[in-house]
Amino acid sequence: MTVDIVPSEVNFRSNYDRRKLATNIFMGVAFFATIFGLFFLGLLLYDVFTKGLPYFNWRFVTTFPSRNPTDAGILSALVGSIWLMFLIPFFAFPLGIGAAIYMEEYADRDLWRNRILEINISNLAGVPSIIYGLLGLELYVRILEPLTKGRTLLAGALTLATLVLPVVIVSSREAIRAVPRDIREAAYAVGCTRWQAIWYHVLPMAFAGILTGTILALSRAIGETAPLITLGALTFIAFLPPWPVTTAVNEEGVVIVEKVSAGLGSFIQALQTPFTALPIQIFNWASRPQAEFHAVSAAGIIVLLLLLVAMNSVAILLRALFQQRK
Amino acid sequence: MTASHDSNFAAYEAQRFRSKWMNLIMRNLTWAFAYFSIIITVGITLILVAESFFFFDKLAKQGVSWTQIFTATEWTPLFEPPKFGVIVVIMGTLMTTVIAMIVALPVGLMSAIFLSEYAPPKLRAVLKPILEILAGVPTVVYGFFALLVITPILQRIIPGGDSVIAGLNALSAGFVMGIMIIPLVASLSEDAIYAVPNLLREGSYALGATKFETTVSVVIPSALSGIVSAFILAVSRGVGETMIVSLAAGQSPILNFNPLDSVMTITAFIVQVSLGDTPTNSLAFYTIFFAGFVLFLMTLILNILADWFVRRYRLMY
């Protein structure tokens, strides 16, 4: 009888080695798949920096675009992106955080209309960004023209704010949901209304999470190109909005207007100014045939990536800052 | 009861009254904010439907038969005579998407498996955020990368070089789009795989299965609904992607199944018209809304399908 056991033991061992090998091979393949994307990220960054760094200097950041690649700068696009960076949250954050508060704190989630609301928001998050460009073109450029004056900063900011709204809602909801139930119940127990519990207890605790999520959503909006192109943002802008500092150059790149104005009137005018933004300028330069413009485009990408890294750092910093207090 | 008690009580009542009103106001205000998203959806749908209606109306006025939209094999809305064979741009869209999926689905799934099943916690904590950076790179940068880095590399690798692979081609656009979509697939699949309870894995080990056998025959089947839904969302993302295809895939609305040639996608068409000087209210102007409507329907169906998959086939542990 014992004779029978020995071969099967041998059999198991040999079989085990083969199966163990399969595990190791599989793990190796999975590891390389994970590295695959990172390899191309590295290649992308390497190429952008080797092409763009020779063009990337202070002059590039402070001059207007030009027909001549060696003179071309990114000033109007950078200023346009910075304007958008301050305008988008103005619309998207109150709306998005408010919606998140309603859905997490007030809404009865078993009601059919609130379930539809949830499905609707997750569906909106899946709508391609270029469709938001078509929405912006019709709604903000054409229907609301008396207010926005057409293809302007205001129309662009509204379009991008609409685009990131679902993302802001989803990330704010997650931050609010992470606040423990006990906090609310303790507040109700001492006689708080629902709003007082939200305002004095839930929101301060969720603040770090909300801020991080919304800044990340904003950094997505700053990189969006397609909706602004559909909206009709211009690709060549040789002036700055009339607030707080105006400059304009003529076709030779000579400054023809320069003034400082801080009035409310010029601020409103600025909102109604045609604009361009970093990704549009990058797209414009990259799609030209001359290799010199490709280098200028790479320099523009460096500026855009620096802006995004700065925004992400702010998000991480704020989260660290607020988490320490808890 | 003294007078001071009464006045305290009155102050309390007044404050209570204000708090209750504040609560009611904020409840209704946040309600309005939340339901604003419904207005956006209705707005998008109304605009796309109405403008597509104008598109068909214009077609009829110009004496062009609307049935050619489904039958014609040419897409030349900007030329005379205009042809609206939308199948051409749909095929262009599908071709870049299929190439992207060939890259993104296996690589994304394997990354998810590595991160959740094999990677030691420390390595995972490093790799995951780096992988997420891929998702944060603006698509216009990926377009630049496809056009100016990947295409030249392909031209060097593929025998025949410039003569067989066009400067603008579906392959490099699709490939780079695939790289862009990897983190989406990886992160959604990882969520699904991570949700598989350890009891199932341990049961499998108890039967003598190796890690590979456990992953392939227990973990992945258990997470399948989430993985399939991640795949469908990836397809939807590929269909709607715009800047990579606009920069690197080209503007050739020709029915062609060679990935080395230039193709036109629905999104690239919208960009092409938006960049030109198309007068508003012209036929070409309405055509971008019609193209947008087709794109919207395609992604909507895919998104609903992904959602349905998760709900219908989710395993309850």
The residues near B117 (Cβ < 8 Å, ≥ 6 apart) are: A30, B193, B211, B215, B219
Predicted local distance difference test score (pLDDT) of residue B257: 86
Residues of B with Cβ-Cβ distance to A134 under 8 angstroms: 44, 47-48, 270, 288-289, 292
Alpha helices in B151-219 (DSSP H): 151-157, 170-194, 198-206, 211-214
Q: Is B168 on the interface with A (CB under 8 A)?
A: no
Taking only Cα atoms into account, the Rg of chain A, rounded to an integer number of angstroms, comes to 27
Q: In angstroms, how far is CA A196 from the centroid of its own chain?
A: 32
The residue among B145, B150, B149 whose CA lies nearest residue B171 is B150
> Which residue among A139, A196, A304 places its CB closest to the CB of B19?
A196
Residues of B with Cβ-Cβ distance to A28 under 8 angstroms: none
Predicted local distance difference test score (pLDDT) of residue B3: 63
What confidence tier does A238 reach under pLDDT thresholds 50, 70, 90?
confident
The residue among A93, A223, A118, A219 whose CA lies nearest residue A168 is A93
Residues of A with Cβ-Cβ distance to B142 under 8 angstroms: 44
Per residue in A104-141, pLDDT (tens digit) is 999 998 899 999 999 999 999 999 999 999 999 999 99
How far does B102 lie from chain A, in Å, by closest CA? 13
What confidence tier does A7 reach under pLDDT thresholds 50, 70, 90?
low
Q: Which residue has the tokens 């039958």?
A: B71
Q: In the predicted model, is pLDDT for residue B245 greater than 70?
A: yes
Q: How many CB atoms lie within 10 A of CB B76?
A: 14
Count of A–B CB contacts within 8 Å? 266
Q: How far apart are CA A67 and CA B231, in angstroms?
A: 44
Instruction: From residue B132, give the alpha-carbon distance in Å to each of A104, A248, B108, B125.
Output: 27, 40, 12, 11
Predicted local distance difference test score (pLDDT) of residue B206: 95
Predicted local distance difference test score (pLDDT) of residue A1: 45
Exposure class string for A66-105: b at 16+ Cβ within 10 A, else e:
beebeebbbbbbbbbbebbbebbbebbbebbbbbbbbbbb
Q: How many CB atoms lie within 10 A of CB B134?
A: 20
Residues of A with Cβ-Cβ distance to B303 under 8 angstroms: 123, 126
> Which residue among B134, B247, B295 places its CB closest to the CB of A286?
B247
Per residue in B142-199, pLDDT (tens digit) is 999 999 999 999 999 988 877 888 889 999 999 999 999 999 999 999 999 999 999 9
Question: For residues B175 and B94, is the Cβ–Cβ distance under 8 A?
Answer: no
Q: What is the ipTM of this complex?
A: 0.92
Asked if B247's CB is within 8 angstroms of A287's CB, the reply is yes
Per residue in A193-220, pLDDT (tens digit) is 999 999 999 999 999 899 999 999 999 9
Mean residue pLDDT across chain A: 89
pTM for this prediction: 0.92
Q: Is A282 on the interface with B (CB under 8 A)?
A: yes
What confidence tier does B40 reach under pLDDT thresholds 50, 70, 90?
very high
Beta bridge partners of B75: B84
One-character DSSP codes across A152-213: BHHHHHHHHHHHHHHHHHHHHHHHHHTS-HHHHHHHHHTT--HHHHIIIIIHHHHHHHHHHH
Instruction: From residue A8, give the alpha-carbon distance in Å to each of A1, A13, A28, B208.
Output: 12, 9, 30, 15
| Single-letter residue type at B48 | L
Q: What angle (nearest 5°) sits at the alpha carbon of residue A113, between those of residues A110 and A115?
A: 55
Q: In the predicted model, is pLDDT for residue B293 greater than 50?
A: yes
How far does B39 lie from chain A, in Å, by closest CA? 10
Asked if B183's CB is within 8 angstroms of A98's CB, the reply is no
Q: Is A289 on the interface with B (CB under 8 A)?
A: no
Q: Is B252 on the interface with A (CB under 8 A)?
A: no
DSSP A256: E
